[in-house]
Chain A
Amino acid sequence: MSSCVGSRRDAWVTSGWFVLFAILNTASGVCFKQSGTDAAHRVEYFVVAATLGWTCMAITMVLYRRMNANLVSAVNAGIGAIALNLALWWLFSTDLTALQWLGIVAAAGGTALALVGGMDTAARSRAAAARGEAS
């Protein structure tokens, strides 16, 4: 039971890190965009964007300790693409084409599949380990 609670808590902590990455990565992308379009505050926006970007890489390193690197990279790419495109659409009234909406849906579906795709294997490993301990 304690291992189940621990792994559930672990999943929430990992999810929290992914959410934080998505927020900061999106903020960085928006600031890079503003750095390109707001000539009066180009340098300030660039510095903020770069700082947020470096912070995102620190979060990525934390996630590398908790999960397989391929999955971390995929989930970050997926939620990054989704969050940034939605943020640009909402903040700047950007028209997203049907292809872009399809891309957002695909990124969401792919992220979910990558995360749950190994659950059966992990569950079987835990069950086998439990049977081994019991005998």
Chain B
Amino acid sequence: MAKVTLLLVLFYATQVAAMLLFKAGSLRAGPGARGRCLAFWVLGNLVGTGSVAFMVKVYELMPSKPNLAAVLGTGGTFIACQLAFAVVFRSRLTVRQWAGIAIVAAGAMLTCLGGRR
């Protein structure tokens, strides 16, 4: 259980890092913006692709519960990214928008958890 938790935390951290890199690369800047955008795109994809290795290990350690592993992976990543964006970029969203985001998270997790075994 501790190993699964550690792997999930590492997965969330690398996914959040990748999404922050994509966001950073999309910010407008002066000269060299295109090159910077491309560099952040490549770096973000490399980090994101590498993070899949953690999730593969989670699936290996939870062979009888792939749906639960999928929920923990996708749902946890989504929530972690939302929190990271809110903190780092100081998002000002309305209560309804946050409610919508929470419902999206619940819906995405249901599609993973509700699958036939």
Binding site for B on A (CB under 8 A): 50, 53-54, 57-58, 60-62, 64-65, 68-71, 73-75, 77-78, 80-81, 85, 95-100, 102-118, 120-121
Q: Mark B94-117, 1 if CB is under 8 A from A, else 0.
A: 111111111111111111111110
A116 CA / B99 CA spacing, docked (Å): 11
Measured as residues with beta carbon below 8 angstroms from the partner, the interface class of chain B is: 35 or more
Q: Contact check, B94 vs A100: say whether CB atoms are below 8 A apart.
A: no
B5 contacts partner chain A, Cβ-Cβ < 8 Å: no
Most-contacted residue by chain A among B49, B81, B101 (CB, 10 A): B101
For residue B40, which residues in chain A have a CB less than 8 angstroms away from its CB? Answer: 61
Residue on B with the closest CB to A84?
A: B111
Contact call B100/A103, Cβ cutoff below 8 A: no
Binding site for A on B (CB under 8 A): 19, 22-23, 25-26, 28, 37, 40-41, 44-45, 48-49, 74, 78, 81-82, 85-86, 89, 91, 93-116
- Give every chain B residue within 8 A of A64 (Cβ-Cβ): 22-23, 26
Known pairs A57-B45, A65-B26, A98-B114; A77 contacts B104 (CB<8 A): yes
Decide: A117 near B96, CB < 8 A? Known: A100-B114, A105-B107.
Answer: yes
* Given A54-B45, A98-B114, A100-B111, A110-B102 contact (CB < 8 Å): yes
The answer to whether B108 and A77 have CB atoms under 8 Å apart is yes
Please measure, in the bound complex, the distance between the C-alpha atom of A127 and the C-alpha atom of B4, giving whole angstroms.
52
Name the CB-closest residue of A to B25: A61
Report Cα–Cα, A97/B95, bound state, in Å. 31
A61-B26 contact given A73-B82, A74-B101, A106-B106, CB 8 Å threshold: yes
Q: Is the CB of B105 within 8 A of A77?
A: yes
Find the A residue at minimum CB distance from B37. A61
Which residues of B are found within 8 Å of A60, using beta-carbon distances?
A: 22
Name 18 extra pairs, CB < 8 A, besides A50-B49, A73-B78, A106-B103: A57-B48, A61-B22, A61-B26, A64-B23, A70-B82, A70-B97, A77-B74, A99-B113, A100-B115, A102-B110, A103-B113, A104-B107, A106-B110, A110-B99, A110-B107, A113-B97, A113-B100, A117-B94
Which A residues are CB-close (under 8 A) to B113? 99, 103
Q: Which residues of B contact A54 (CB under 8 A)?
A: 41, 45
